[in-house]
Chain A
Amino acid sequence: MPDPLLIPRSLFHKEGHGSSHTHPHDDPPLERRASGTREIQVVRKVLAANDIMAANNRRLFADKRVCVINLMSSPGSGKTTTLEKTLARLMPELSCAVIVGDIATTNDADRLAASGAPVVQVNTDQFGGDCHLAAHVIERAASGIDLDQVDLLIVENIGNLVCPAEFDIGEDARAVVLSVTEGEDKPLKYPLMFRVCDAALLNKIDLLPYLDYDAPLAVANIHQVHPDMPVFELSARTGEGMEPWLDWLRGLVRKKLA
C-alpha cells in the first residue's frame, strides 16, 4: 500500500504553486548563460508540498465542520495552561479536541486529557526534534480523532516563535501567546509570527504587580506589527480575563457551523 503521506512527485509539477506561471514545467526553457551553464526556469514555492497538504486538511475540516485553531508561542508562555482553562470553560457547551506537539514527552497531553477532551500527542523527536508541526503531521494526528464529534480542534504547536509561522496546517485561525515574563519587544523581533496570527494573548497578567513590565507597550508593539489585531490580556493561572478570549473562540466556531 502506498504511504498516503508521500506526495506524488507529479504534484510538484502542478501549476499554481509558484509566484508566476509563465513556464510550463514539462518543457522547461533552457537558457545558455555566458558562464557556460544552462539555466532552467523552475519557479516553484519551496513549501508547496506543505501548502498542498494544508489545503487537503482545510477541505477535510470544512467537510467535518470542525473549527481549527493553531496556538503558538515561545516555550513556556502558557499555551498548555491556557488550554487547560479554555477546555474547562468551553467543554460543557462545545465539543473540543486537542493536538499537542512537543519535541519529547507526553506531559502536556496528560495535563490536557484531564479535561475529558480527546488529546493527540505528537512527538517530533523521532525527526531530530522538528521545531514546528507541518501539515502532514496534523493530518496524521487528526486521523486519531473522530472529527464528526468535534466542534473545536485546538492545535498546541511546538514552543517556537519562528518556524511555526511559516507552516500552514489548514487552520481557520491562528493565535499567539506572549507572556509578561518575556520582553515587551518580542513582537518586533518576531514580526512574521505576529503578522500571520489573528489574535494575541498576553498571558500571566497575575504577575504584573511583581514585575517591571510595560503591558501597554507590549500591546502597542503587537499593534505596530499587526494593527487592529485583537489582544486578550489574561491570566491562565487565575482565569482573569479569559472571557473575551473564549468569546472570540465561540465566534469562530459559530461562523464555521453556520
Chain B
Amino acid sequence: MDHTAGRRQTRPAAVVRAAYRDSGVGTAPSVHRGPGRTDTRYAAMHEMGIAMQIVEIAVASVPAHLKGSPVERVNLQVGKLSAVVPDSLRFCFDVVAKGTPLEGADLNIEELPVTARCRACGHVWTIDGPAFTCPECARGDLELLSGRELDIRSIELRENRTPDA
C-alpha cells in the first residue's frame, strides 16, 4: 500500500508484561460460586465487576446529611440485550455489599425490552428474539431505542429518624 509504505519503520519484537494495579474499575476479586458451578465462573466475574460499580456509585450517591443511613433498595434498569444475568448480578451484589451501607439491600432489577426504530421506514417495534430486521420493510438499518441499559435509577434509604417536616 503506497499510502503508508515507508512511512514508519518496524521495530524488533518486544514482549512487555503490563504490570498494572487494581484500579477498582471494572475489576473483580476472586470469587468462586462453589463446587459444581465453575462453568459459570466467567459470567460471575463479569457481574462481579458490575456489582462493584453499583455499590461504589450507590455509596457515593447518599447525600452528605444522610450518610450512615442504611440503603434498603437499589433500583436498577437492565436492558434485555445487555450481557448481564440478573440472578448472577444479585448474587454478586450481595457479596460485594457486605460491610458497606448497602449490606442486605435489595437489588431491584427492572428488565427493559429491546426496542428499535427502522431508519428506512420509521417503524418502531419490540424485538423479542435475535432477529434485527424491520418487520415492515425487511431492512436492517435500525437504531436501538432501548435494550442496552445498565443504569442505576435510584436508591432508597431506610428512615432511621423522624421526618423533619
Contact = CB atoms under 8 A, between A and B. Distances in A.
B17 A3 contact: no
Interface of A: 3, 5-7, 9, 12-13, 18-19, 25, 28, 30, 32-33, 35-50, 53, 91, 93-95, 99, 106, 109-110, 113-123, 126-132, 134-137, 140-141, 144-146, 149-151, 160, 162-163, 165-167, 187-189, 191-192, 195, 223-228, 250, 253-254, 257
Interface string B36-53: 000001110110111001
Contacts of B140: 223, 226-228
A33 B73 CA distance: 12
B130 A46 contact: no
A9 B59 CA distance: 11
B81 A195 contact: yes
A115 B13 contact: yes
What DSSP secondary structure best describes chain B's contact surface? loop
Contacts of A151: 4, 7-8
B100 to A, nearest CB: 15
Nearest to A229: B140
Contact of A116 (B13, B21, B30, B158): B13
16 contacts: A12-B60, A37-B156, A44-B57, A46-B57, A49-B26, A49-B53, A95-B8, A120-B18, A122-B18, A122-B20, A123-B18, A127-B30, A129-B42, A137-B18, A145-B16, A228-B140
Q: How large is the interface on B (under 10, 10 to 19, 20 to 34, 35 or more residues)?
A: 35 or more
Nearest to A148: B8
A246 to B, nearest CB: 10
A120 B13 CA distance: 10
B132 interface: yes
A224 B131 contact: yes
B62 interface: yes
Contacts of B14: 113, 118-119
Interface of B: 1, 3-5, 7-18, 20-31, 41-43, 45-46, 48-50, 53-54, 56-58, 60-63, 66, 69, 72-73, 75-77, 81-84, 129-133, 139-141, 144, 148-159, 163
A28 B61 contact: yes
A93 B13 contact: no
A118 B130 contact: no
A33 to B, nearest CB: 6
B42 A163 contact: yes
Nearest to B13: A113
B26 A32 contact: no
B23 A144 contact: no
Contact of A110 (B5, B15, B43, B130): B15
Contacts of B158: 36-37
A67 B57 CA distance: 33
Contacts of A129: 30, 41-42, 45
B152 to A, nearest CB: 5
Nearest to A101: B18
B13 A47 contact: no
Nearest to B76: A46
